[in-house]
Chains A and B, each alone.
Chain A
Amino acid sequence: MIKELHNKLISGEITSVKLTEQYFNAIEKKDKEIGAYLTLTEQLALKQAELVDEKIKKGEKIDLLAGIPCAVKDNICVDGARATAGSKILDNYIAPYDASVIKNIKEADAVILGKTNLDEFAMGSSTENSAYKKTKNPIDPERVPGGSSGGSATAVAGELAAWALGSDTGGSIRQPASFCGVVGLNPNYVRVSRYVLIAMASSLDQIGPIARSVEDAAIILSRISGFDGKDATSAQSGEKPYEDYLTGGIKGLKIGIPREYLEGLDGRIQERFDETVAKFKELGAEIREINLPHSQYSLPTYYIIMPSEVSSNLARFDGIKYGMRIDDRVKSGDTPDHAASALLETYLDTRKYGFGEEVKRRIMLGTYALSAGYYDAYYKKAQRVRALIKKDFEDAFLEVDLIFSPTTPETAFKFGEKTDDPLKMYLSDIYTVTANLAGVPAISFPIGTISKEGKELPLGGQLMGKWFDEENVLNAAYAYEVRESLFIKSVNEFTG
């Protein structure tokens, strides 16, 4: 998609301004129904597009991303644009600077169309936790797009952006990509700078691309990755043009299938999965069954570590430094019981009305897990289990080059199906959280559809790689994509 658009731009078949306008027209027509965007950045987009058209006119060489319209999850700051992170507490927040990834894509002259909807502070698996609106799955509007990067996945799947940025803490890029039938990449932990990503759980968070093809994801990763002095966790490892590694050749590559992931899997999902495994075999890969013996502990481990870090990261939203303060609501005649007069009341009330239910639940879980008397039993215990989970991966990667599983244990579910039961919702992340716990790169790509109530719902396959081995992860997914000439059939049907 990106290369095609790039060629059209440099050949003069289309201008960036025209392309940008086309996307805004599509947004105007369709986004009322789908709800992918929270904020549009029209002025910024057109300014950037004009600049690229100038460069092309002058015969200057332009980057692959130049002039191509994209969308950005609303927890990543774009200078001068509103950044809500899907929360009322940041309703009036205007970002005073660019996140490093935004700086990078601006340097590549990408066109930013707007900011996309998400579960509040990226906490959720369905985008139903946004304080603003529900985003609908473009393939079946009765179903959720997944989360928390549901807006970004929907923007790409619904052709309201050529590609998008999301963030992944426990699967928030891969699970919505799977539900919407697009490609989502969670790069290796600290591969991409998190500077001015509104933090959720810092030992797990990673920014990554959502795209229409594996090749696009590789192109985007090349532009957003690299060392950043502004992020104290940023990896020193060298940057590569990842697209150069996409040969499609995977002969002799060893792919491991984790036995534990397939227990109790839905029959039709198992079928799609087995078909994909067979195709990897045809492509010359060697398939081996492997064990990740601590898999059953990854979800409870994740749901201790993540909220603990959430409770710490979200302490900064206190109604003092920025964002909503409860007095504002008193002035605007909104609902609080009384005007907060003392400092403690300001904290309590700002956080009571500013945060949604799931955010409060996680902050409280984290506060509990870190509190005196419980720290050892919960947080420290979880960090120990995390070490064992990492060891599982170390052992597995002695035998195989990649690990393959379904991305999710199910296809997109309906609105409201899980909102009353947080545990049920958390199970959506069962196959994705381990990559974040172990810190390895992982990609989700479409492996076919499953028919439900007359709709063809997409299913994703997930490839996880060794630490900092995005090359093999991307190349194996690319090999499958090319083999299948898989360019998101179901979405094309939807969009005509």
Chain B
Amino acid sequence: MLTKDEVQHIAALARIGITDKETEKYQKDLSAILDYFKELQKLGTEGIEPISHITGRFNVLREDEVEDFGDLGKEAIMKNAPETKKGFVKVKSVL
């Protein structure tokens, strides 16, 4: 069973705030699911290459050229930002 501290640590890594009550619930849920994953440990997989892309494709590249938003419009995109200033997304001060 995961400890409260472990759950809170995972939540912090995931940048999710959780309440004490949620911590207890997730302690139970996550532990049960992680136990279920142990099923996989029964299976030997030595020498098996892990799959990263099922179709076997690798690094699709394009020319290193600037692509404008074109007719999509920066304005339409910026409309969805919670806070903007002079055409930029406004962020809280970090320092």
> At the interface, yes or no: B1 with Cβ under 8 Å from chain A?
no
> At the interface, yes or no: B73 with Cβ under 8 Å from chain A?
yes
Contact pick for A361, options B29, B40, B62, CB 8 Å = B29
Q: Which residues of B contact A97 (CB under 8 A)?
A: 72, 76
Contact pick for A385, options B16, B22, B43, B62, CB 8 Å = B43
The answer to whether A360 and B33 have CB atoms under 8 Å apart is no
Chain B: CB-nearest residue to A353: B17
> At the interface, yes or no: A203 with Cβ under 8 Å from chain B?
yes
Which of these binds chain B: A48-56, A262-270, A300-308, A401-409?
A300-308
Query: Smallest Cβ distance from B90 to chain A, in angstroms?
Result: 9
> At the interface, yes or no: B49 with Cβ under 8 Å from chain A?
yes
The answer to whether A381 and B45 have CB atoms under 8 Å apart is yes
The answer to whether A96 and B72 have CB atoms under 8 Å apart is yes
In the complex, what distance in Å separates the CA atom of A408 from the CA atom of B72? 42
In the complex, what distance in Å separates the CA atom of A383 from the CA atom of B79? 39
In the complex, what distance in Å separates the CA atom of A189 from the CA atom of B14? 28
> At the interface, yes or no: A348 with Cβ under 8 Å from chain B?
yes
Contact pick for A325, options B17, B54, B57, B83, CB 8 Å = B83
Q: Which residues of A contact B79 (CB under 8 A)?
A: 94, 96
Chain B: CB-nearest residue to A204: B54
Q: Which residues of A contact B89 (CB under 8 A)?
A: 320-321
Chain B: CB-nearest residue to A234: B60
Q: Which residues of B contact A322 (CB under 8 A)?
A: 80-82
Interface residues of A (CB under 8 A from B): 92-94, 96-97, 189-190, 203, 229, 232-233, 235, 294, 296-297, 300-301, 303-304, 311, 315, 318-325, 327-328, 341-344, 346-349, 351-352, 355, 357, 360-361, 363-368, 371, 377-378, 380-388, 390, 422-423, 437-439, 467
Interface residues of B (CB under 8 A from A): 7, 10-11, 13-18, 22, 26, 29-30, 32-34, 36-37, 39-41, 43, 45, 48-55, 57, 60, 62, 72-73, 76-77, 79-83, 89, 91-94
Interface CB pairs A-B, < 8 A, 12 = A297-B39, A300-B36, A300-B40, A301-B40, A325-B83, A342-B92, A360-B26, A361-B26, A388-B48, A423-B33, A437-B54, A438-B54
